[in-house]
Structure 1
């Protein structure tokens, strides 16, 4: 999983990026799923909705469980014509995501394993603004299967 340091910058022209701030609580997953499904519908990419909803559910669960942040930002974008990226941005750069290996009896600890299983790739980018570390974005990408 790559962890990159990059300046926060505007997305290049092309498909818009949709973003909304939500409370960092597990119940946010329902609103996150609606946003992702709606955006994918606008892009005529409904076939990706189930996988994207699972991803956003797991990323929100991880943020609410492993960070003390009061809010998170859900981002849905198109880094290219053939990829969709779903990400969760929080202000806790010191808590980086890790794949865990839950035991058979464990009730949690499989979220990133699910993300890895359904996404084409995933990772974490540290967010730097004005020379200071401001947070991180944990993201996953899905191939669209089209070249529009």
Structure 2
């Protein structure tokens, strides 16, 4: 995976933290896929249908609420897929030269 391993760990960590914090369900699932030779897709699935919001301004506690900002900066793109029973929040990393 070249030099994306550290970014992948950070993205998954932030997605898991967001799911634990906001979905508040007893179980989540981490998903790793390779939709193309140059892309690694990392996702976290939970049973909440509440969509994530990318914040641009931060007030209150200075070290909270920045998970999606980190995901947005580290990934080529990210998004949400809704399911009848919940959602998956995912981010894609570009793997150069693969």
Measured on the aligned residues, the alpha-carbon RMSD in Å equals: 1.4
TM-score (norm. length: structure 2): 0.91
Distance 1:126 1:145, change over 3 A: same
TM-score, structure 1 as length reference = 0.62
Contact 2:78–2:91, Cα closer than 8 Å, also in 1? yes
Structure 1: where are the runs of 5+ without partners? 1-44, 128-132
- How far 1:104 moved relative to its partner? 7.9
Larger RCO: 1 or 2 (CA < 8 Å, sep 6+): 2
Shift of 1:71: 0.4
How many residues align? The count is: 97
In the alignment, which residue of structure 2 is the partner of 1:30?
A: none
What residue number does 2:42 align with?
Answer: 86
Determine if contact 1:81/1:146 at 8 Å carries over to the other structure: no
Bigger Rg, structure 1 or 2 = 1
